[in-house]
Structure 1
C-alpha cells in the first residue's frame, strides 16, 4: 500500500460537508480540518501501481463543494 496526501480547498461554509462526504465514501484513512490556504488534509492509501491522478479524479474531485486540490505523493516513510 502506498500513502499520499491531498490538500483540499472547499467552498465557503462547506468544509464539514466535504469531509463527511469523503468519510462516507470510505476512501480516506484520515481526514483533518486545517487552517491556512486549504481547509482539509486527507491521507489516502492505494495499492502499489494505482494511478493516483486517476484515483483523485474519480474518487475525490466528484465531491460537491471542493474548489481546489493539491495532491502530495509520498516516496519513503522514516
Structure 2
C-alpha cells in the first residue's frame, strides 16, 4: 500500500464543499481541515505508485477551488496503534 500526504491550498470560502468532494474521490481515505499555511490535508492510499498520480493529478487537482497541492510520499509508517496491536496477546 502506498500512502501519500497531499497538502492543499484551497479557496477558503468553499473549504467544506471542497473537503467533501475530495473525500468522495476513490483513493482518498481522509481529508482534514488544518491550521497554518495550508487549508486541507488529504491522505491518499493506493496499491501502486502510479495510483498517486492518477488520484492527485487527475482528480484532486481538478476539484473546483483547489488552488495548489504539494504531495509527500510516505515510505515508512510508525503508529502507536500498530505497535500495540503487534505486541498484543489478545487480552
Superposition TM-score, scaled by structure 1 size: 0.86
Point out the structure with the larger helix share. 2
For residue 75 of structure 2, what is the aligned residue in structure 1? 75
Change in Cα spacing, 1:29 to 1:54, as seen in structure 2 (3 Å) is closer
Q: Is 1:20 aligned to residue 20 of structure 2? A: yes
In the alignment, structure 2 segments of 5+ residues that lack a partner are: 79-91
Bigger RCO (CA 8 Å, 6+ sep): 1
Task: Give me the whole-angstrom Cα distance separating, in 2, the residues matched to 1:61 and 1:42.
Answer: 12
Change in Cα spacing, 1:28 to 1:54, as seen in structure 2 (3 Å) is closer
Q: Which runs of 4+ in 1 moved over 6 A?
A: none
Q: How many residue pairs align between the two structures?
A: 78
CA RMSD, Structure 1 to Structure 2 (Å): 1.5
Residue 51 of structure 1, CA deviation: 4.9
